[in-house]
Amino acid sequence: MAESQVAVAPLVTSKLSVKAPEFYPSGYNQNFDSSFEDGYDGYLTLAEYVQDFLNHLAEQPGCFETEIEQFAETVNGWVTADETLQELVELVYQQATSVPNFSYMGARLCNYLSHHLTISPQSRSFRQLLLQRCQTEYENRDEAAKGDETARKQFHAFVLFLAELYLNLEIKGTKGQVTRAEILQEGLRELLNVLFSNPVDNNLMCAVKLLKLTGSVLEDAWKEKGKNDMEEMIQRIENVVLDANCSRDVKHMLLKVVELRSSNWGRVHETSPHTKATPENDPNYFMNEPTFYTSDGVPFTAADPDYQEKYQELLEREDLFPDYEENGMALSGPGDQYFNDLDNKMDPEIEEAYEKFCLESEHKRKQ
């Protein structure tokens, strides 16, 4: 037999490059370097380079740790005068207060630059210029809180950025200790007062976010000075809930902050790291244990001395649970009474009792 002939297509060599326009979606900036490893090569101005890096951080926040050192080194080689340093501060500030969810990353960036810029301007450092820029916005707080929706939105972005700065900007003391900027602590207290003094919904929502973010740290700092400023804030919240014409949802959010603070801002004090946690030495040992109920409706957890006996009784009450196959599929059909009962409305008597409970709770809150 004659051997079959297999046609071999000639090898086609593509002339396309991985950087060809065909490989980029429309509108993509091909001059944007995803790694910034080449420093400021190809950039004509500091503003162009810094803005591209800020946009890069906004899109890929995970690259902060790997690329911030190169960025700071590049900026050190470019910023040589007060004017360019001021420009750098303004670029970072605008990004942190105008791009959604960038306030935390902006505060981290500010902290890094405040410690790693080696330039020696004639007047002020990066941190000093940054705080001066924040001071300018801070001085307009009363007008901003009373302004239109656009003005208030910009003001709220500034407030939350200042909160992130307070948490992330590290100040090194003369003895090498690391502290927070006390001027920001006092500024946040005054900003809370301004927000509560103008109790429209979005001002109050900003105050809620601010307290959730910094409440525990602020209270600790105030207590160290022997101040009860947080008690005053909680009293202001309670007054707003009773008197302000804000929405019911916002009042609920404010009450949740009061509840959060009453639980020590959700913090759980751990036992000593050298002591093994046991039910005897750790009151929170069973806090995450599930709660079960006996046949009489009495709750019990693993902390109950008769736990094993009660739990075994619970397992034997098979009639309380629907039957399931081993693969997890329910054997009960769609018309099964067990499932139908779940969809029934509350008994009129129970519904009346529930409404009474809600009214009494609301009355107690107002007292």
Q: What is the pLDDT of residues 292-332, one digit of tens each?
A: 556 665 665 555 666 566 656 655 554 433 343 333 334 33
Q: What are phi and psi of 330, to 5 degrees?
A: -70, 135
Q: What are phi and psi of 10, to 5 degrees?
A: -65, 145
With H, G, I as helix, E, B as strand and everything else as coil, classify residue 276.
coil
Does residue 37 carry a pLDDT above 90? no
pLDDT higher at 21 or 138:
138
**Per-residue model confidence (pLDDT) at position 224:** 92
- Segment 203-218 shows an average pLDDT of 95
Q: State the chain's mean pLDDT as an integer.
A: 76
The span from the CA of 77 to the CA of 71, in Å, is: 10
Long-range CB contacts (within 8 A, 24+) of 203-207:
203/145, 203/152, 203/156, 204/240, 204/244, 204/246, 204/250, 204/253, 204/254, 205/250, 205/253, 206/155, 206/156, 206/159, 206/160
Whether this model's pTM surpasses 0.75 = no
CA 233 to chain centre: 21
**Per-residue model confidence (pLDDT) at position 21:** 43
Does residue 231 carry a pLDDT above 90? yes
